[in-house]
């Protein structure tokens, strides 16, 4: 889904309604962060366990510069909505993950 498609979908609802994301163990959470992400589409073999795609985060301590460049080139840009994190310290507000 693109940002344009999401906006069109959201326009069908009353503007004062709250928006939520899937939480932990079947619950739902408030959105606490919206971030730009780089994504490797179709990365995971076991989509049921890990989801359809993987967020790409360059790791200079483990990757050579040419690997980072190649991985960044094949990644697509996206937007990720975050709810409250079930594991403390997983991410900090304002930090793109």
Q: What is the three-class DSSP state of 16?
A: coil
pTM across the whole model: 0.65
Per-residue model confidence as pLDDT tens digits over 69-95: 998 998 999 998 888 765 555 554 445
Per-residue pLDDT, 96 = 46
Per-residue pLDDT, 15 = 92
Render the burial of 22-48: b for 16+ CB within 10 Å, e for the rest. Answer: eeeeeeebeeebebebbbeeeeeeeee
């Amino acid at each position: 889904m693109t940002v344009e498609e999401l906006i069109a979908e959201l326009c069908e609802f009353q503007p004062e309604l709250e928006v939520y994301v899937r939480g932990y163990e079947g619950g739902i959470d408030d959105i606490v962060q919206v971030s730009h992400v780089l994504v490797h589409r179709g990365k995971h073999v076991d989509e049921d366990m890990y989801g359809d795609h993987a967020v790409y985060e360059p790791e200079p301590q483990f990757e050579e510069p040419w690997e980072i460049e190649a991985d960044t080139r094949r990644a697509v840009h996206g937007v990720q909505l975050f709810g409250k994190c079930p594991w403390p310290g997983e991410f900090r507000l304002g930090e793109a993950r």
